[in-house]
Structure 1
Amino acid sequence: EQSRREMAALQNEVAGLRRFGAASLDLAFVAAGRLDGYWERNLSPWDIAAGQIMVRESGGIVSGIEGNDDALTSGHVVCGNEFVHAELVKILKPL
């Protein structure tokens, strides 16, 4: 399964992985600085829209897994600060 491959690829690169079960909550936690980064695939635009605004307004970067695509269109989201976002894309894009 895709999510297991992604978690395995990131497991040794991060201090910990947490999933709260709601994309809107995870995005809000990135915006608030409670999480460093977040990714998820196969979301609906309404799962991403408000959180995307919060992350961007707090200075973070939000995109699709490709790094330069629109999360609302693709349904896949990656976010974090400039460094975390770039590292997540680098690891997740090939998977």
Structure 2
Amino acid sequence: MISRPHPQHDSPARQPPTGVEPITGGIAFVLAALALLVIASYPVYAAAFGGALAVAVALVRVGGPALGRRLHGRMTELDVPGLGTVQIRVTAR
């Protein structure tokens, strides 16, 4: 009879689990699935919300720099009760 050495295996409890995803991925998946269900249930509201969001982003992208150019070098003073006077000046970076 041939005698072979017994292979030494760690017990499954000692090995780290494989294929375990972080909890953030699971939460993101659940939120994405919930968002898709809401979009499918209320398509008109979802389209209106998406359109309003696109308009708001466009206004910020166009209006932000224009407002910065208009207020460049201007100084404003605000009276804050209990704190005093605060001076705000807009300058370019």
The two structures have a TM-score, normalised by structure 1, of 0.21
